[in-house]
Amino acid sequence: MGAIQGWIISDGTLDLGSPEKVFLGETKQNVEQALISNFLPTEQIVVDQNILFFSLGNTNVLVETGVGSFRGFGEGAGQLVDNLLAAGIEPARIDAILCSHPHPDHVGGLCQADGQPTFPHASIYLAEHDFAYWTDEALLDGWAAAAIRVARANLLPLRERLVFIQDGEEFLPGVTAHFTPGHTAEHICFELRAGTESLFLLGDVAHHAVLSLENPLLNFAADLEPATAAKTRTQVLSTLAEERTRVLGYHFPWPGLGHIAKQGEGFRFVPEPIRW
């Protein structure tokens, strides 16, 4: 993009479980039909984790960190460090880490199992409200206990390196934060601009390249505020389709690059062809 060169690094796949437990508000038959029509399995929802690495001058940036040592999503995840090294990128080279929100598959890789930082020189950018909520000790007995434990284990040891960013803030050159609430209260989509080109990082606004787009009002089980998430998702996807903005879907089929197009009452993802 312009003068910026980026790499998309996989952290592997997440097994989210059976469709009826993951996507709510639609009949099992309709969900299965949507999956079948797109040649996808109907027993389990399995999604990718597409992590962007890029350089801004002398600043090396990583967007999200995957699950790390957390094994709540099956054995297919936790591949980030191995794949960074395979791409010739040493974790110690990372200067900035952008976190859309503090869920296990986004901050779980900040620290290793022994509590040591995976990226020893990186500042971590995220929203203050989400940090406070997902590290709240009082919530350890609630429905999100597993996510709270992962967030506390990965964020609290790095407290001095956290940088809280605001909605609409260009906090790094060409990188702007857009608060997109619903999945969490201050979930962030990041927009990267270089010259005349831009890339919009969807984060968890949409979890599935078919189900989340064909029916954007479909509720995702882990959304903190499902109605707000559905409204946000519809608004964001509408804008991206109208403006023909290039996107990176964190949970879309690897590498997740493409565009959003309007389709009936919903949308569809148009993958970007590989340019040899």
Q: How many residues does the chain have?
A: 276
Per-residue confidence band for 274, with pLDDT thresholds at 50, 70 and 90: confident
- CA-to-CA dists, residue 141 to 146, 147, 152, 210, 224, angstroms: 9, 11, 14, 34, 16
How many whole angstroms separate alpha carbon 202 and alpha carbon 100?
9
Q: Rounded to a whole number, what is the distance in angstroms from the first to the last CA of the chain?
A: 16
Q: Tokens 């109208």 — which residue?
A: 242
**pLDDT the model gives residue 276:** 83
Question: pLDDT exceeding 90 applies to what percent of the chain?
Answer: 94
Mean pLDDT across the chain, nearest whole number?
A: 96
User: What does the pLDDT average to over 129-149?
Assistant: 95
**pLDDT the model gives residue 3:** 85
| 71 vs 86, higher pLDDT | 86
Please determine, for residue 269, whether its predicted confidence score (pLDDT) is greater than 90.
yes
pLDDT tens for each residue of 50-84 = 999 999 989 999 999 999 999 889 889 999 999 99
Selection from 100, 104, 151 nearest residue 126 by Cα: 100
Please determine, for residue 162, whether its predicted confidence score (pLDDT) is greater than 90.
yes
How many whole angstroms separate alpha carbon 231 and alpha carbon 144?
23
pLDDT tens for each residue of 220-236 = 999 999 999 999 999 99
Cα 247 versus chain centre, distance? 12
Six-digit token string for 174: 């060409």
How much is the pTM?
0.96
**pLDDT the model gives residue 57:** 87
pLDDT tens for each residue of 174-222 = 999 999 999 999 999 999 999 999 999 999 999 999 999 999 999 999 9
